[in-house]
Amino acid sequence: MKALKFTFILVLMAIASLRAQTNQNSILGAWESDEKDVRMEFFKDGNEYKGKLLWGNQIVEADGKTSKKDVKNPDKNLRARNIIGIVSLNGLKWDDGEYTDGKIYDPPSGKTYNCKAWIEKDKLHLRGYLGFSMLGKTVVWHRYATAN
């Protein structure tokens, strides 16, 4: 029984140390999904965090460079804009170790989802969902070194 309590305490300490390594600006910078199919730059605007699309295999033409247009956008006035460079993630707010209350727009579908994010072991976890967080999908990201 003592070994079980000790193991439980070690697990709690490990979880606490993961949170302690994350500060509210840890999300800033360029990230790439672990699937290497999308890149986004996170930045702070006032008291919220936003994400701008840098590249994605579903948002570029066959040449891998030319941006597709935002043809599925519900706003007809935005359908002629390039997808690359749009701010597709808005409203994330830092709240006790995670980013909450965000909205993420998915250009290939034209749909917008609620989202939240957190960082564990230098990996960004971004969860998009409708209604309840349990009913969603998490994408894991790693830092992306941009060419300067």
Q: What is the pLDDT of residue 148?
A: 55
pLDDT at position 71: 98
From the first residue on, what is the mean pLDDT of each consecutive set of 10 residues in the chain (148 residues)? 46 41 89 98 98 97 97 98 98 96 97 97 96 90 84
| pLDDT, position 134 | 85
pLDDT digits (tens, 9 = 90+) for 61-73: 999 999 999 999 9
Which pLDDT value is given to residue 18? 43
Encode burial over 38-68: b for 16+ CB neighbours within 10 A, e otherwise. Answer: bbbbbeeeeebbbbbbbbbeebbeeeeeebb
What are the tokens at 17?
A: 């140390």
Which ranges constitute the DSSP H helices of 21-84? none
User: How many residues make up the chain in this entry?
Assistant: 148
pLDDT of residue 147: 61
* pTM to 2 decimal places: 0.82
Distances (CA, A) of 99 to 32, 49, 124, 147: 18, 8, 11, 27
Tell me, what DSSP letter sits at residue 127?
A: E
